């Protein structure tokens, strides 16, 4: 028998979406910490956040220490404001704008975001009007 949903059952969906968003934010922060900090720096951060030495964290892998730091940050954020989501990482880099390109006369310029023009092909093989394969 197929599972039935009640008419107002979006609460579970909202909770799943919120959990997915928290997981994504956690993974982004974990990746950021792992890339930007050495194992020694992460250990200092973990100890400052309250990690105890009885589990021998010096023998942990770098990603395990970063995971402990992220968990500490999330618990601290939950204590500070239970109704607010954790703050995004401090070092948010703005998206890079593509360089301004001066197109060739016979270039098929992009007509949609993410598309590519034919300037590289023109530079490599010459303009379509001068090629036999076009």
Positions in the chain whose pLDDT score sits under 50: 1-2
Task: Residue 108: name the closest of 93, 96, 122, 97 by CA.
Answer: 122
Quote the pLDDT of residue 53: 79
Query: What pLDDT is stored for residue 28 in this prediction?
Result: 92
């Amino acid at each position: 028998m197929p599972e039935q949903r009640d008419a107002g059952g979006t609460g579970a969906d909202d909770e799943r979406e919120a959990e997915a968003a928290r997981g994504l934010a956690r993974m982004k922060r974990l990746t950021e910490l792992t890339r930007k900090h050495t194992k020694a720096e992460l250990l200092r951060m973990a100890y400052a956040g309250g990690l105890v030495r009885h589990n021998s964290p010096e023998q942990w892998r770098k990603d395990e220490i970063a995971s402990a730091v992220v968990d500490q940050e999330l618990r601290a954020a939950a204590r500070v404001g239970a109704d607010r989501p954790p703050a995004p990482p401090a070092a948010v880099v703005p998206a890079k704008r593509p360089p301004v390109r001066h197109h060739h006369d016979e270039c098929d310029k992009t007509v949609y975001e993410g598309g590519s023009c034919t300037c590289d092909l023109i530079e490599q093989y010459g303009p379509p009007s001068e090629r036999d394969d076009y």
